[in-house]
Amino acid sequence: MERKKALKESLTGYAIISPWLIGFFFLILGPIVASFYLSFTDYDLLSSPNWIGFDNYINILTNDPRFRQSLTVTLIFVFVSTPLKLIFALALAMLFNTGRKGTGFFTTIYYIPSIIGGSVAIAVVWRIIFGRNGAINDILTTLGLEGMNWIGNPDTALTVLILLVVWQFGSPMIIFLAGLRQIPTELYEAASVDGANKLQTFFKITIPMLTPVIFFNLIMQTIGGFMIFTQAYLITQGGPMDSTLFYALYLYETAFEYLRMGYASAMAWILLLIIAAITLLLFKSSSRWVFYESEGGR
Amino acid sequence: MKKKRTLSDIVYYTFVILFGFVMIYPILWMVMSSLKPETEIFGNAASLLPGEWQWGNYSRGWEGFGRTGFDVYFRNSAIVTGLVVIGTVCSASLVAYGFARINFKFKAVLFACLMATVMLPVQITLIPQYILFHNVGWVNTFYPLVVPAFLGGQPFFIFLLIQFIRGIPRELDEAAIIDGCNKFGVFYRIILPLLKPALVTVVIFAFMWTWDDFLAPLIYLNSANLHTVTLGLRNFMDADGGTNWGPLLAMSSLSLFPQFILFAFFQKYLVQGIATTGLK
């Protein structure tokens, strides 16, 4: 009897999660298997896939300068923009946590770029204001500095895109703010009784108590950084001279412009491995610097 | 002591206001420049005030270029976004209820799968999904953009709702069962009404992300009459090669209008959603 009831509950459970279950098998698991298979083939969408073993992987790793360029660009981008974004996010969260009036209004203002920053509209704006006759050069000239061709110059094009994503520090800022509000005030009171100065409280209390949130933001922003596509596609088209050829952009070109589906699938798997390795490294390192209260502290 | 406080207040507010201005300058610039004549967008680039108000940019932009106007793009975006929001709300809430409240075999394994997909880069599934939709003849239709939302949508949303349902007392479920509700009845009569605040967050994020989405429409929609606003702006920018910046900025501003409205009304929920789950 009990068994029958459990079976019935199981079936009801499956019926209720069935939309996700179907989606998971057809849109995630199936495609993952297919993608793995395709990565060992030559496939142009028109004729049937042609098994070529490890050729795609070998070619990508040994024989494709654009792959190396795209990986370099993406790594530079991630390792420059993520720390900058988090530093801004933390600095402003600290500032907004001082309990002054009107902080709600200002956090909202600072959060707006995070909400709309990935849109095509903002890409259009970026392309114009960083253009030769754009607002940035106009401001620089007014300040007596020399303007430059930001987007057309291989040395500065990546900077323009880094500025665009760093500008969107609002959502990590809000997560930091929520984290800061969780820190018990007694800790600060005790520190001030002990005569600690602001710098000491920051490094001995705020930062350690915030490490779980820092870790979370670091993981999310790093993974997000590898995915950048829309902005580069619209603002620089990967150029000039491949200086903004992000990994996702090169993968898109390979798959949907040159219809090299097998090669692009192999690229996707390499990307997955790189992201997995970096995430794993971050998780491994976290035991040394992330402080969880429930463990009693170290 | 008092004086010191006032001085630090002055420094604080000066900084926060100035930096806030820098933060929203690009957005203000977009809206104000959409009202400038062409010559001023570049000739008087940094200024936020148009010397001459050019409302005609909006009507010229609305006509789009070629044969497709922005009325078509906005209608397509509205259809896609509307269906995605409906699909996400229906499927994600039901699935979350299943995971939070019902015991079924392999639940732990399936939950682990759900969480793993939260982290999975889109690039892994992008190509085979495209091939799948290509083979069933769905390329150049709205189906590839809309159907996934009805099949659970973003795993993030399911996770968010599971967390929320876990906070609802189980006694409510049990009382309803005693009153003769079945599991689905419990979902519909008890859980769903209590889920409203969390669903608002899901609706807003699903709307924002779908409205902004560029990659999926770019891959799946070929015909101009199916293009969404994001593709419409891209077409406009590329086709005119910089000769029609005023109308382009007008349409860019207009494309953000629904998001601004939503933001203005629901920013509390957005901020809460971010703060509690770390979305985006």
| Percentage with pLDDT > 70 across chain B | 95
Chains A, B: CB pairs < 8 Å: 251
Q: Which of residues 45-84 of B touch A (CB under 8 A)?
A: 45-46
Give me the mean pLDDT over the A258-265 stretch: 95
Smallest CA–CA distance, residue B14 to chain A, in Å, is 12
CA distances (Å), origin B266, targets A56, B25, B154:
48, 23, 20
**Residue A261 near residue B131 (C-beta atoms within 8 A):** yes
pLDDT tens, position by position, A26-43: 999 999 999 999 999 999
CA A236 – CA A153 distance, rounded (Å): 10
pLDDT tens, position by position, A80-123: 999 999 999 999 999 999 888 888 889 989 999 998 988 999 99
Nearest CA in chain B to A43: B131
**Residue B185 near residue B253 (C-beta atoms within 8 A):** no
pTM of this structure: 0.91
Name the residue with higher pLDDT: A192 or A78: A78
| Percentage with pLDDT > 90 across chain B | 58
pLDDT number for residue B8: 87
H/E element holding A201? helix A198-201
Confidence band, pLDDT 50/70/90 cuts, at residue A50: very high
Q: Quick check: B5 pLDDT over 90?
A: no
What's the ipTM? 0.89
Q: Quick check: A1 pLDDT over 90?
A: no
pLDDT tens, position by position, B60-109: 889 887 778 999 999 999 999 999 999 999 999 999 999 999 999 899 99
Give me the mean pLDDT over the A118-136 stretch: 92
CA B62 – CA B253 distance, rounded (Å): 12
Task: Show Cβ contacts of residue A276 under 8 Å, excluding neighbours closer than 6 positions.
Answer: none
Smallest CA–CA distance, residue B69 to chain A, in Å, is 17
Q: Measured between beta carbons, which residues in chain A are less than 8 angstroms from residue B13?
A: 100, 102
Q: Measured between beta carbons, which residues in chain A are less than 8 angstroms from residue B107?
A: 13
CA A133 – CA B45 distance, rounded (Å): 7
| HSE of A166, CA atoms in CB hemisphere, 13 A | 18
Q: Quick check: B124 pLDDT over 60?
A: yes
Quickly tell me which residue has 């029609």 as its tokens: B244
B124/A31 CB distance under 8 A: yes
Task: Show Cβ contacts of residue A298 under 8 Å, excluding neighbours closer than 6 positions.
Answer: A291
Q: What is the mean pLDDT of chain B?
A: 89
CA distances (Å), origin A258, targets A37, A44, A78, A100, B135:
19, 8, 27, 56, 18
pLDDT number for residue B82: 97
pLDDT tens, position by position, A165-175: 999 999 999 99
Q: Which of A64-68, A226-230, B267-271 has the lowest mean pLDDT?
A: B267-271
Residue from the list A35, A135, A279 with its beta carbon closest to the beta carbon of B127: A35
A142/B46 CB distance under 8 A: yes
Residue from the list A28, A116, A217 with its beta carbon closest to the beta carbon of B117: A28
Give me the mean pLDDT over the A11-39 stretch: 94
Confidence band, pLDDT 50/70/90 cuts, at residue A256: very high
Q: Measured between beta carbons, which residues in chain A are less than 8 angstroms from residue B253?
A: 121
pLDDT number for residue B3: 64
The CB density around residue A169, as the number of other CB atoms within 10 Å, is: 29
Task: Show Cβ contacts of residue A266 under 8 Å, excluding neighbours closer than 6 positions.
Answer: A39, A40, A56, A57, A60
B126 touches chain A (CB under 8 A): yes
pLDDT number for residue A297: 43
CA A232 – CA A190 distance, rounded (Å): 49
